[in-house]
Amino acid sequence: MKHLGRIAVAISLVASQYALGWGERGHHTICEVATRLVQNHQLKAYLLGKGHQMGHVCNIPDIYWRDLGPQAKSGDAAHFLNPQKLGYTIESLPTDFDAIVANAGKPASKVADELGSLWWRADQFFREAVDGGQRAKRSKFPDAKHEQDKTLPFNRGIYDMLVSMGLMGHFVGDASQPFHNDEDYDGYAAGHGGIHAYYETASVNAMGLDLITEVEAAALDLRAKKDLDLDSGTVVERMKRLSISAAHDLKAVEAADEILSPSQDRPHQFVAKRPPSAQGAKAFQNLIVPELARSSLLLAKFWDEAFESSGSPDLFKYHSYRYPLAPDFADLDYVN
């Protein structure tokens, strides 16, 4: 048992250095499943072969952007919400960012850093996706000789729309992770220190290769039961509902988290000892799969709406092979 505990601590310590929402596998799963859940016929047919590409773009904020240093530092706090920092609960947190800033009496950038700005970051990329699609819609189609020209307005618009859709997916994914919606983001206040990375990365990585199939099935079940209100309200209002549903899972996650010895907070901080992540995967399976499914389902809804709001540009006139390996960092437009 002591040997297992030491292994678990080592895993948790390594993972904690890279505590990112759902880890690469989780984010990729959310976005790949979303390509199968969209309902607009043209968009669905186009995205059928784009699961890998959308999964890659959905991970950009946690991989490429994190490697940009000071250039992208302003975006670090856009991955979560700490409502208690400003005296709110996740349920009472207003959806109007400007109103929060005014009430706090602090600069918007300071509020974004302290509170986090997850909901508004997703909304930003929704708006940018619509803008890209609208630019493509009002542009001429490339002729056969220039269909690979990435400078043409039509090609630029479609590319920007797809990249923004993928980036939006990252933050929709973050909202379904329970610890991205609470000040005690790594469980130390509850004696579960180190839970963040153990839950979202190590345990997800230890799940079987059928994870994508299970998440898709769970999302289709949620859609049929209409357990999550996806249709009414703004992007931010629906992001709030997603966050609330995730925050309600916090106690269940802690109850399922097998602690071999509790963590200790500062000044001598160390993580709780846990079994290997394969056991965590089994313990958390019935929580993680529905959480990933909720994000996939809401993301697909947002993609449908962004595409249709842009005028449904003809995606099959887009013949570019341009692959978004490293999209430019996007400044927080609701702060700047």
172-228 pLDDT per residue, tens: 999 999 999 999 999 999 999 999 999 999 999 999 999 999 999 999 999 999 877
Confidence tier at 7 by pLDDT (50, 70, 90): very low
Q: Which helix (H) or strand (E) holds 106?
A: none
Q: Is pLDDT of 71 > 90? A: no
Residue 329 lies in a domain: no
Residue 105 lies in a domain: yes
Residue 334 lies in a domain: no
Helix extents (H) in the chain: 2-16, 23-37, 41-47, 51-59, 97-104, 108-115, 118-137, 153-175, 195-197, 203-205, 211-225, 235-247, 250-256, 277-309
Task: Give the domain CATH number at 245.
Answer: 1.10.575.10
Residue 63 lies in a domain: yes
CA distances from 279 to 134, 211, 212, 256 (A): 48, 16, 19, 10
Residue 121 lies in a domain: yes
User: For residue 74, what are its two tokens?
Assistant: 């302003």
What is the predicted pLDDT for the residue at 230? 83
Segments forming the whole domain that contains residue 282:
2-317
CA distances from 73 to 100, 217, 263, 272 (A): 22, 37, 29, 29
Nearest to 207 by CA among 68, 25, 32: 25
What is the predicted pLDDT for the residue at 336? 75
User: What residue has token string 């669905």?
Assistant: 44
Between these two residues, 3 and 287, which has the higher pLDDT value? 287
Average pLDDT over residues 84-112: 97
27-41, 95-109, 255-269 — which is least confidently predicted? Answer: 255-269
- Full-model pTM: 0.93
User: What residue has token string 């106690």?
Assistant: 251
On whether the CB atoms of residues 82 and 174 are closer than 8 A, the answer is no
User: For residue 29, what are its two tokens?
Assistant: 């799963």
Residue 87 lies in a domain: yes
Q: Give residue-wise pLDDT tens across range 38-63.
A: 999 999 999 999 999 999 999 999 99
Share of the chain above pLDDT 70, in %: 94
Average pLDDT over residues 248-277: 93
CA distances from 42 to 47, 98, 118, 123, 318 (A): 9, 36, 29, 23, 13
Confidence tier at 19 by pLDDT (50, 70, 90): low
Q: Number of folded domains in the chain? A: 1
Q: Give residue-wise pLDDT tens across range 312-333.
A: 999 999 999 999 999 999 999 9
- The residues that bridge with 270 in the sheet, in sequence order, are 264
Amino acid occupying residue 102: A
Q: Which helix (H) or strand (E) holds 182?
A: none
Nearest to 214 by CA among 281, 303, 122: 281
Residue 326 lies in a domain: no
Handedness of CA 59, 245, 73, 128 (dihedral sign): positive
What is the predicted pLDDT for the residue at 265? 87
Residue 68 lies in a domain: yes
